[in-house]
Structure 1
């Protein structure tokens, strides 16, 4: 990563400008071109420096439902189960934690009933007990990690 990569990542954490040509606005701000910025973004996604780039939606305000859940996955099955979860369109993301409940994931579904059915399906698919941790209250935490 060079200085432009760092400045781009830092700027993208603040959101894209809500204009017709957001990448041109960013290019002007960062003294680059929109093509260069997009190429760099794709390169950082491909090399794993960035794992995701995209919008964050409040699924409940859009009429959907979601939950946070966890599995206690034996280490020898961790990659297998991660692949099973990643193959499900309802799984927004999953990640490892250093805890007995070592695989956490977020489900985003159309309805609460779909959440319940998907959680049951995951238990059946993996053969593992599942911990469901639905949201009780919403907090907005603006995160910014300068690079």
Structure 2
């Protein structure tokens, strides 16, 4: 991995610029071209090193969200997971070794919207969703210095 890619990954863990041309702003800060940034991001995505770039938002300011679990019979896990993955409100869907073996986060514009999705999930799968809405938000900063001479803001 070249130095520019390292600096880009290291520096922008904590905030891609919020503006009309964020990749241009990143390039200006790093002393390169917007094309350099886009090329590196595309390469990282092609190799599977980067899955997405997106905001982390305080859900209560933008709508509603809840952690949800399902106890899925193992014979049905692939089919149920595919259905859950198809819902636009779902992210972070993963399997766990537990009676409740499929866990995901639902997000939507309102709690009533989430309730309707939970009802649809129940009707479609025959499984009762365990709905665990957030009571108190906690922000966990997962950014960390990745390379020598890190530029990660402290």
TM-score class normalised by the smaller sequence? 0.7 to 0.9
Cα distance, 1:68 vs structure 2: 0.7
The 5-angstrom pairing of residues 9-28 of structure 1 reads 9-28=9-28
- More off after superposition, 78-87 vs 114-123: 78-87
The 5-angstrom pairing of residues 1-147 of structure 1 reads 1-62=1-62, 64-147=63-146
Structure 1 residues 6 and 99: alpha-carbon distance in aligned structure 2, compared to 1, 3 A threshold: farther
Q: Distance in 2 between matches of 1:52 and 1:19?
A: 18
Structure 1 residues 138 and 43: alpha-carbon distance in aligned structure 2, compared to 1, 3 A threshold: same
The number of residues matched between the two structures is 146
Cα distance, 1:19 vs structure 2: 4.7
Post-superposition Cα deviations, 1:108-147, rounded to whole Å, max 9, x if no partner, equal 1222111112112112222323211111111222221444
Cα distance, 1:106 vs structure 2: 0.9
Structure with the greater relative contact order (CA < 8 A, sep ≥ 6): 1 or 2? Answer: 2
Equivalent pair of 1:91/1:106 in contact (CA under 8 Å): yes
Cα distance, 1:43 vs structure 2: 2.8
Cα distance, 1:2 vs structure 2: 4.2
Structure 1 residues 96 and 41: alpha-carbon distance in aligned structure 2, compared to 1, 3 A threshold: farther
